[in-house]
Structure 1
Amino acid sequence: MSISARTKNVWGRDIEPEYEARSPRQRRDTPGVGIRIEGLSKSFGDVPVLHDLDLDVPAGQFLAIVGKSGCGKSTLLRLLVGLDTPTSGRISFVGADGAETEPSSRIVFQEPRLLPWASIIDNVIVGLGEGVDRRTARRKAEAALAEVQLAEKAPEWPSRLSGGQRQRAALARALVSQPGFLALDEPLGALDALTRITMQALIERVWREQGFTALFVTHDVGEAVALADRVIVLDEGRIALDIAIDHPRPRQRGAADLAEIEGRLLKGIFK
């Protein structure tokens, strides 16, 4: 496809047509970072949570993490974004040139965690941190809200939004800084079924457009298979299963080939 046939998103990047459905890791311009985890362990007091993990995540990959409650999924994400420190082991991020780098990392939680006293656009501006002038910050926040189809809610208070709209605002806050790595810790777990489907499509779209590296924690195996390039099963702090999902996008939940993968993952979880 020629460059002239492409359209631009609000960040000025090329958007590829839906029928191409290529992962950002296949594009040379992906801003995502590679992640290298070596011998990573984490304990809380005398309670071990993660055990000697080794994991490589290519730049731009969408990796889903599933497993039983308490298996270490959220702990791993917190370590990756710097909200906690490992007991032992090493985490490194690799840029496009192959050198280690310090990426812009953001996390989206199950709860939106919006500031109730601030407007939606001011909540999104928080994601830029300090050092950005007000005019530039507002322009970037407006672009991020447009990206998640929430531009008209910019002046509203969080209490005036539905649960799905608040979660979209939280996603915009994470995206406004154009992170190289985005962690999503069960971001759809509290949403109703229809809103969840809408948010799944939204997350996939912005990931494809922006090309960041995504780590997505979920209890929903079908959701993981529908969204991810790759799914790992954590079991008692160890990687029990690692499966590549090499299927074209968009994917249809319930398709026979995807159902077979879901079955393998469920066996890995409940073995």
Structure 2
Amino acid sequence: MTAATITARQSFAAPTGAYAPERGAGKLAFSFRNVAKQFGGKAVLQRINLDVQEGQFVAVIGKSGCGKSTLLRLLAGLDKPTSGELVQGAGTTDQKRTRIMFQEPRLLPWARVIANVEVGLTSIEKGEAARKQSLEILAEVGLADRGGEWPAVLSGGQRQRVALARALVGHPSILALDEPLGALDALTRIEMQQLLERIWLAKKFTAVLVTHDVTEAVALADRVVVIDSGRIALDLAILVERPRRHASPELAFFERQILDQLYNR
């Protein structure tokens, strides 16, 4: 082992286990308490205990079938645990302020871009107020001049920006992201990562990203949670200042720790 390697390990080693971030320290966004989920006789999640603070960016990573998307569906209220409980905020189980963004944009092809964004305001705002909020969030995702267009004329990255705008227009306190950048090409994906980070920093919502991409996880997250066989195998704080540089030695160090856990090296 070289001196440079030793220095890197000493400089960038991060604690595992419980992690209290600087942003929003002390305020709980949500908590999984002994949560288990079964489908038929198969246990998908087992005794998940996870506290996440307000304003934190958490990435959940693991191999296919490990249970990470199931965890996100429970968070978003799309499914219910078999046992245990999910508590949000100040001891409540209210999931109305949680929004989810999927890998596919899931836009309505018969509705123009602005109308697709307004879907995110259903039961919250309508009429001119909904239009105004939708135009504002379209501007934030770089599509200020595309509100009157049809989804079919947009690129893949632009459609995902519309989906992001729709998820954010109602000002959620928690944004659940189910591999939303997985279908994008490499350069568009990096652009979307940077956009997502900028908006998260500005709006201070709690973000939970499910991804297969270890590089993406450490580039975006304050904390990476590795799920293996339905259990939390690693809970790693990513102690790297922002803005972060892709392929930097600091991020590579954390990537190596996560890959070692995933492949038992």
Above 0.5 in TM-score? yes
Q: Which of residues 110, 115, 122 in structure 2 aligns to 1:122?
A: 115
Q: Which whole-Å CA distance do the structure 1 matches of 2:124 and 2:248 have between them?
A: 48
Q: Which of residues 210, 235, 254 in structure 1 aligns to 2:247?
A: 254
Structure 1 residues 137 and 109: CA distance shift in structure 2, 3 A: same
Q: Which of residues 148, 151, 171 in structure 2 aligns to 1:155?
A: 148
Q: Which whole-Å CA distance do the structure 2 matches of 1:149 and 1:258 have between them?
A: 28
Look up the SS of the partner of 2:88 in the other structure.
strand
Partners of 1:25 and 1:211 within 8 A in 2 = no
1:160-239 to 2 correspondences below 5 Å: 160-239=153-232
1:46 deviation in Å? 1.0
Tell me the residue number matched to 2:92. 100
Deviations 1:144-184 (A, max 9, x none): 10110111110111101000000000000000000000000
1:12-91 to 2 correspondences below 5 Å: 26=23, 34-91=29-86
Instruction: Could you tell me which runs of 5 or more consecutive residues in structure 1 were left unpaired when the two chains were aligned.
Output: 1-23
My pick for the range that moved more, 127-136 or 146-155, is 127-136
- Aligned-partner residue type, residue 132 of structure 2: R
Deviations 1:174-205 (A, max 9, x none): 00000000000000000001100100000000
Q: CA RMSD in A?
A: 1.8
Partners of 2:67 and 2:230 within 8 A in 1 = yes
- Aligned-partner residue type, residue 224 of structure 2: V
Instruction: Could you tell me which runs of 5 or more consecutive residues in structure 2 were left unpaired when the two chains were aligned.
Output: 1-20
Tell me the residue number matched to 1:14. none
TM-score, normalization: structure 2? Answer: 0.88
- Aligned-partner residue type, residue 74 of structure 1: S
Tell me the residue number matched to 2:261. 268
Number of aligned residue pairs: 244
Look up the SS of the partner of 2:254 in the other structure.
helix
Deviations 1:58-82 (A, max 9, x none): 1110000111001011100000010
> Sequence identity of aligned pairs in percent?
56
TM-score, normalization: structure 1? Answer: 0.86
Deviations 1:72-111 (A, max 9, x none): 11100000010011111100111xxx45362511000000
Partners of 2:33 and 2:47 within 8 A in 1 = yes
1:246 deviation in Å? 1.4
- Aligned-partner residue type, residue 119 of structure 2: V
1:256 deviation in Å? 1.3
